[in-house]
Amino acid sequence: MATNSKSLCSRVRNLPKSQACLRVSQFVAFVFCLAAFLTPVSRAGDAPSWMHALTSAPLPDHDNKTDAVLLYSEDIVTVQGNGKIKHLTRRAFKILRVGGKEHGTAVAYIDAETKILSMKGWCIPAQGKDYEVKEKEAVETAIFGVENGELSGINPPTLRRLRLWQEAAISVRGRPDWLFIKLHCHGMEPREESAMLGTSIQNFLQELVKGPGNRTEYRLHFVTVREMVNIILAACDGRGGNPGEYRDYHFQLIDALVRN
């Protein structure tokens, strides 16, 4: 894939029943396969020659509202002697408008019996040097584009996402005013340090904490998994009022039990 902006370039590799994604923008091409594959390039970071050849190719017919056009598409399936199947995919897009940036994401679905052995992407900007999306920029995620409560470098917490979590309205029947939002992150992954300690999470928490003081539509409670389970059980038992009062409703900390 190729683009005008390096900041729009990223890459994703996924888990079983997930997908691998590679994100770029303006003139873009990507290659990924389910077996070993290497693309020769003249020097590190340069896009391959077949991709450069496309920069001068005429564009397919399109109207003035078209966001992106497909310049190259190739799929090669090889059945090997050991019964394994290798699938090589190449795509190249010309991104014409900002709305076409979704075409700068390469997605490969994999499962327990399939793995991605190689995934490459390049940006050819209008000015400057080619830019290669490197292996270290790959991330693992669930279904791309679906809100799954993940906090990561490419999925930072935002107030827009908060609205989506609220609209999901996860609650116990009979207690719709208690909404439960369960998020997750990869705290031990060095690449996700910014997601846990960076500017985005700090800004989000500041907006989140000061928000309820200025508005009346919700009251915020930070809870552990144990405390959340207790509050859910209290809701199931028909309890009301302040949910924070039920953090130790059923399951208590071991040291608290010992003291009692």
Phi, psi dihedral angles at 133 (to 5 degrees) = -80, 120
Tell which phi-psi region holds residue 77, choosing left (phi > 0), alpha (psi between -120 and 50) or beta: beta
pLDDT in tens, 6-62: 333 334 443 333 444 444 434 555 554 443 333 343 455 688 888 889 888 899 999
Q: Are residues 117 and 159 in the same domain?
A: no
Q: Are residues 121 and 191 in the same domain?
A: no
Using pLDDT thresholds of 50, 70 and 90, give the confidence band for residue 83. Answer: confident
Point out the domain boundary residue: 106, 137, 168: 137
pLDDT at 138 over 80: no
> Which range marks the domain in which residue 158 is found?
150-220
55 in any annotated domain: yes
Which pLDDT value is given to residue 44? 55
- The domain tally of the chain equals 2
Instruction: Tell me the average pLDDT of the chain.
Output: 76
Q: Are residues 131 and 157 in the same domain?
A: no
248 in any annotated domain: no
Point out the domain boundary residue: 137, 170, 201: 137
Strand partners, 151: 185
Using pLDDT thresholds of 50, 70 and 90, give the confidence band for residue 118. Answer: confident
- Rounded Cα distance between 42 and 46, Å, is 6
Strand partners, 30: 91, 121
Q: Are residues 54 and 132 in the same domain?
A: yes
Point out the domain boundary residue: 137, 164, 195: 137
229 in any annotated domain: no
246 in any annotated domain: no
227 in any annotated domain: no
Which pLDDT value is given to residue 228? 95
Angle between helices 199-214 and 159-168 in degrees, nearest 10: 60
Q: Are residues 116 and 59 in the same domain?
A: yes
Query: Model's pTM, two decimal places?
Result: 0.48
Q: Are residues 30 and 120 in the same domain?
A: yes
232 in any annotated domain: no
Specify the higher pLDDT residue, 148 or 44. Answer: 148
Share of the chain above pLDDT 90, in %: 22
pLDDT in tens, 203-239: 888 888 876 555 556 788 999 999 999 999 999 999 9
Helices vs. strands in the chain: H and E counts, helices first: 6, 11
Which pLDDT value is given to residue 212? 54
Q: Are residues 93 and 167 in the same domain?
A: no
Tokens encoding 156: 């930072």
Which pLDDT value is given to residue 33? 46
Q: Are residues 164 and 122 in the same domain?
A: no
> Are 88 and 37 spatial neighbours (Cβ–Cβ below 8 Å)?
yes
Which pLDDT value is given to residue 200? 84
Q: Are residues 76 and 181 in the same domain?
A: no
Q: Are residues 18 and 107 in the same domain?
A: yes
Q: Are residues 52 and 126 in the same domain?
A: yes
pLDDT in tens, 165-210: 988 899 999 999 999 999 888 777 777 787 788 888 888 888 888 7
154 in any annotated domain: yes
226 in any annotated domain: no
Q: Are residues 62 and 174 in the same domain?
A: no
